[in-house]
Structure 1
């Protein structure tokens, strides 16, 4: 009989339930946020915090990264904040944990931007580059941020960073009320040069809106598809777009998990389609949220109110593993990125026998044995297929699976 899987590591630092997790900087770090507004950056090499600060006056709902040097956090205090977290800055930040009262003056990362956004819907933001594709200098790329509208509970606002301006809005469906927006994702369809927003609602419905051209041109968003799994569906809790951008998966308050194709019509004309072409499974486990899809698109994970982390196949939608360690409900999951380029995981520095650089004729410091060991440890940690999970107990479990 196979032994049940156990976490490789447990990260202990938060004193409150964890609602947000994010690997970033080529898997060198894991960022976490809790219900009291605390943010912690963990080193995956040492499994210790390298920065701890209170970023919000309410619960942290979501964390995303904007290049390897910036983190974006969304709090229940109705603020979306962009923090500068360069490696050279982390050494000067406070590492005292939230429960440590001895540190009076906590040094926090430089706050680059702060936008007032809606947080009443329990719906986290989503972001993507303003322009399709990637430039050679991603740190200069403007970003689009999608979040629920402050007055129209079924509407969606689109902001631009770094200007912090609202550049567009998707109004709620007046002819068929959906309730509040519960989950949203914004991304580009690069093949067809258009911007898409996928949203999940309180009545269990999902919608896809499309826009072509920039925001200075006339014309707006068009709803191209709307789908409801079945009558009486419960609210959507999480929604994730596949890395290939050809489908998305949702989970909700009920026990259903659904996969929807994104094969949308080319044109913008015509009426939207009311369809249900989803492939769905009834898991018999209500309250699965924090859904995340691994970067290779093969598996996805959910965090369950029953304290279980479940891993599924994206192709067959079959349950592959149930990870049990937490004693209380789980709220968030995150996968490490598997799509690292070869130069992202360069070999550890080795001494070649020459102390002179052929390019600059400067004397190079010979790496010590400790330096080489440290480098190898960092590269090993970054290459592991991590799955992180957090929940009500304030602890983060790290699993090395598949």
Structure 2
């Protein structure tokens, strides 16, 4: 390690349940916001200036909230719960109402993936009712786009990432499955482009750098597996990162492509340089499994934060490697 590990700059308490998902919204307005979703079905909207919950909403009948995002063009919140519902919220001007919802039929833990395709238009991908299927719909119309099912048995779909290459208009989707496989799908053609066996255990999480066409995935084992897409859209396995302890809940790459953070089952957050996967810091604060990590989207790099949510019902916020740090 190049320097001693820092302490959290502050913590947020009062979520009342395990913190499954975190999502920042700091790029617009005067108030930076952090959304959190708990295992008790509650969404907290944290004001990062006052460091308090500005609003608390419940919309999943007490079922665990497993994913949160915001629709950039409308500033609407979208949430996914284990009640098999995806809810669209209007939170403007003091409102807190569900204005639309989508029934997924999935009882698993696979988080949705959202892709903005134009002003006011989005694609939403989610695990479907059948074990291996991924469904993609348009929002706000909820029109079906396609259903993707592998032609061989790979087990349950565990994690997905919908994205759009800079070079073309066709959306692509990366998916991790229960047997440890990664698949790249062409959404428009409804076809599999490539496949790789990244792990011997189920793929618990993945993240993908769309600028560098490089991704990384984690499982219950003691390693992270990195991979790239070549010019023929083939998935190619690259380096592995060996971890001290097994189990990763979530992975997140900072927007500038310099840092990777992992949420560990061993109660720790690990920070790596994304370029060389060199370990930079081990962040120790939580007393139970870390379930979620997220980097903030502050426009000013000096204000960027890393948030971690844990089964211990607390959120830690960290300011690390923001200015002039050697993260190569």
> Please, what TM-score do these two structures have when normalized by structure 2?
0.90
Conservation of the 8 A alpha-carbon contact between 1:113 and 1:164: no
Partner Cα distance (2:291, 2:106) in 1: 17
How far, CA to CA, are the matches of 1:130 and 1:337 in structure 2? Answer: 20
State whether residues 186 and 193 of structure 2, in contact with CA within 8 Å, keep that contact through their aligned partners in structure 1: yes
Does residue 136 of structure 2 align to residue 158 of structure 1?
Answer: yes
For the residue of structure 1 that corresponds to 2:167, the secondary structure is helix
Structure 1: give runs of 5+ residues left out of the alignment: 90-107, 132-137, 213-219, 267-272, 346-381
CA shift, 1:330, in A, is 0.8
SS of the equivalent of 1:42 reads strand
Deviations 1:306-354 (Å, cap 9, x if unpaired)?
110111111111211100001111100110125x3xxxx7xxxxxxxxx
2-structure distance, mates of 1:289, 1:336? 19
Task: Determine the structure 2 residue equivalent to 1:99.
Answer: none
Tell me, yes or no, if the aligned pair for 2:26 and 2:296 is still in contact at 8 Å. no
Between the two proteins, the alignment pairs up a number of residues equal to 315
| Partner of residue 241, structure 1 | 208
Q: Equivalent residue for 1:305? A: 265
- Flag as ranges the 4+ runs of structure 1 deviating above 4 A: none
Matched residue, 2:309:
390
Question: SS where residue 302 of structure 1 aligns?
Answer: strand
In 2, are the aligned partners of 1:126 and 1:147 still within 8 Å (CA)?
yes
**1:2-401 alignment to 2 at 5 Å?**
3-26=4-27, 28-57=32-61, 58-67=63-72, 69-86=75-92, 88-89=93-94, 109-131=96-118, 138=119, 141-151=120-130, 153-174=131-152, 177-212=153-188, 220-229=189-198, 233-244=200-211, 246-265=213-232, 276-338=236-298, 340=299, 384-401=303-320
**Larger strand share, 1 or 2:** 2
Deviates more, 1:389-398 or 1:22-31: 22-31
Unaligned runs of 5+ in 2: 322-328
Higher share in helix: 1
Q: Distance in 1 between matches of 2:80 and 2:132?
A: 19
Larger radius of gyration: 1
Q: Is the 8 A contact 2:225 2:237 kept in 1?
A: no
Q: 1:294 & 1:243 partners in 2: Cα distance?
A: 12
